[in-house]
Structure 1
Amino acid sequence: MKATATAHPIQGLVKYHGIRDQELRTPYHDSISLCTAPSNSTTTVAFESDRAEDEYVIDGERVAGRGAERIRTVVDHVRERVGIDNRVRVESENNFPTNVGFGSSSSGFAALATALVEAAGLSLSRPEISTIARRGSTSAARAVTGGFSDLRAGNNDTDCRSRRLEVDFEDDVRIVGAVIPAYKETEAAHAEAEDSHMFEGRLAHVHGQLADMRDALGRGDFERTFEIAEHDTLSLAATTMTGPSGWVYWQPETLTVFETVRDLRSEGVPVYFSGDTGASIYVNTTAEYVDQVESAIADLGIETRVWQVGGPAQVRDADAALF
């Protein structure tokens, strides 16, 4: 009972903020994202009858504390579904910077859920697997279905699951990742979301943003899609900054990237910034302009990664196993 899976992290376009149900990790509102490739998390899972306790290892480090609790929540859900009590060994590796705002928890839990389902012998669709991954990280639901994905809010697994969207310009999208290595913890910001006086304001307008985003994606409107994502980035930051802890994730380099993107756009380059919780920034453009955009960000002295839209979580062959 062993399996390996790989998943790509997500870039939030209309991002969720705040968790309605802490156990199921159901959000207050819908969210839409795209996956970034070739960045990925690869996870191997084995149910072992002779093991005394679970073991979780990420990038060579044994996981304890809250991180282990989140992994155990997903593992226990699968054990309960199949009626087994075997302990598990889990090892995961990331090929991109983690805990800097590039969605490593989304790809990590998407790969974990996909590998667990395979190892346990369950036959589930990706939307069904997305409900399992969601228990570890809400955004992981969208990493399971991949591409441009839409997670609907709901009170149960029938309603709160991810689905992939068909988008005409998907193959033309390029993402320049501006790596700004300032450590962050997203879960803390979600925990106090309701305490921000801006939270009700975000809830009042986010449904309109979601409708506009679905319309733009359905019409194949690249510019409008990423214009909305840019504005949503600012809305999210306003909410996190006005919570009790006053989370300010941006660094001076973050603001410099914003200004560089706006300067490029004033010169006719189709380019837009977007950020999740963290200092690092996604710079969204097209295949035609990606070299120019990447050079402009690199000239700031900022490390860059170039990505395109990635597909769904995938079960890997046995020779890809990490142990």
Structure 2
Amino acid sequence: MKATATAHPIQGLVKYHGIRDPDLRTPYHDSISLCTAPSNSTTTVAFEPDRNEDTYVIDGDRVDGRGAERIRTVVDHVRERAGIDHAVRMESENNFPTNVGFGSSASGFAALATALVEATDLELTHPEISTIARRGSTSAARAVTGGFSDLRAGSNDADCRSERLDVDFEDDVRIVGAVIPAYKETEAAHAEAEDSHMFQGRLAHVHEQLADMRDALGRGDFERTFEIAEHDTLSLAATTMTGPSGWVYWQPESLAVFETVRNLRSDGVPVYFSGDTGASIYINTTAEHVDQVESTISDLGIETRVWRVGGPARVRNADAALF
């Protein structure tokens, strides 16, 4: 009972903020994202009858504390569904910077859920697997279905699951990742979201923003899609910065990227910034302009990665196993 899976991290376009049910990790409102490839998390799991306890290792380090609790929530759910009680050995590796705002928890839990389902021979669709991954990280639901994905809010697994969207310009999208190392705590920000005086304001306008985003994606409107994502980035930051802890994730380099992107756009380049909870920034552009955009961001002295839109989580062959 062993399997390996790979999933891509997500970039939030209309981002969720705050968790309605901390056990199921169901959000207050819908969210839409895209997956970034070739960045990925690869996870191997094995159910071992002779093992006394679960062991979880990420990037060579054993996971304990709250991190292990979140992994165990997903593992226990699959054990219950599969009717087994064996201990699990899990190892996971990321090929991109983690804990800097690039969605590593999403890809990690998406790969974990996919590998667990395969190892236990549960026959589930990607949307069904997304409800399992969501228990570890709400955004992981969208990393399971990949591409441009839409996670509907709900109170149960029948309603709160991710679906992939058909987007005409998906193959033309390029994402320049501006890597700005500054550790962040996304879970803590979600926990106090309701305490921000801006939170109710965000809830009041986010549904219109979601409708506009779905419309733009359905019409194949690149510019409008990423214009909305840029504005949503600012809305999310306003909410996190006005919570009790006053989370300010952006660094001077983040602000320099914003200004550079706006200057490029004023020169006619189709380019927009976006960010989740973290200092690192996504810069969304097209295949035609990506070299110019990447070069301009690099000239700021910022490390960059270039990505395209990635597909859904997938099971790997046995030779890809991490142990």
SS of alignment partner, residue 253 of structure 2: helix
The residue aligned with 1:126 is 126
1:293 corresponds to which residue?
293
Q: Aligned AA for 2:54?
A: D
Give the aligned partner of residue 281 of structure 1. Answer: 281
Q: Alpha-carbon deviations, 1:259-308, whole Å to 9, x = none?
A: 00000000000000000000000000000000000000000000000000
Runs of 4+ in 1 over 3 A off after TM superposition: none
Is 1:136 aligned to residue 111 of structure 2?
no
Alpha-carbon separation, structure 2, partners of 1:315 and 1:277: 29
Counterpart in the other structure of 1:106: 106
Q: Measure how far apart 1:45 and its partner are.
A: 0.3
In structure 1, distance between residues paired with 2:278 and 2:74? 25
Cα distance in 2 for residues equivalent to 1:94 and 1:146: 17
Q: Which residue pairs with 1:225 in the alignment?
A: 225
Matched, 1:2 2:2: yes
TM-aligned CA deviation for residue 210 of structure 1: 0.1
Rounded to whole Å, the distance in 1 between the matches of 2:74 and 2:240 is: 27
Deviation at 1:6, TM superposition (A): 0.1
Count of aligned pairs: 323
Distance (Å, rounded) in 2 between the aligned partners of 1:125 and 1:151: 15
Q: Where does residue 153 of structure 1 map in the other structure?
A: 153
Tell whether 2:63 aligns with 1:63.
yes
Q: CA deviation at 1:54?
A: 0.1
- Measured in 2, the distance between the counterparts of 1:46 and 1:187 equals 28
CA shift at 1:39, angstroms? 0.1
Q: Could you report, residue by residue, the CA deviation over 1:206-260 in whole angstroms, capped at 9, with x for unpaired residues?
A: 0000000000000000000000000000000000000000000000000000000
Amino acid paired to 1:318: A
Q: Which stretches in structure 1 are left out of the alignment for 5+ residues? A: none
1:29-108 map, 5 Å:
29-108=29-108
Read off the aligned partner of 2:248 and give its amino acid letter: V
For residues 316 and 271 of structure 1, the distance between their equivalents in structure 2, rounded to whole angstroms, comes to 34
1:250-265 matched pairs, under 5 angstroms: 250-265=250-265
5+ residue gaps, structure 2, are: none
Instruction: Give how far 1:104 is off.
Output: 0.1
Aligned partner of 1:127: which letter?
P
Q: TM-score normalized by structure 1? A: 1.00
Which letter does structure 2 place at the counterpart of 1:39? S
1:126 Cα offset (Å) = 0.3
Which secondary structure state, in structure 1, belongs to the residue aligned with residue 11 of structure 2? strand
Secondary structure at 1:183 match in 2: coil
SS at match of 2:278: coil
Instruction: Report the alpha carbon displacement of residue 166 of structure 1 after superposing the two structures with TM.
Output: 0.1
TM-score under structure 2 normalisation?
1.00
- Residues 149-171 of structure 1: CA distance to partner in whole angstroms, max 9, x if unpaired? 00000000000000000000000
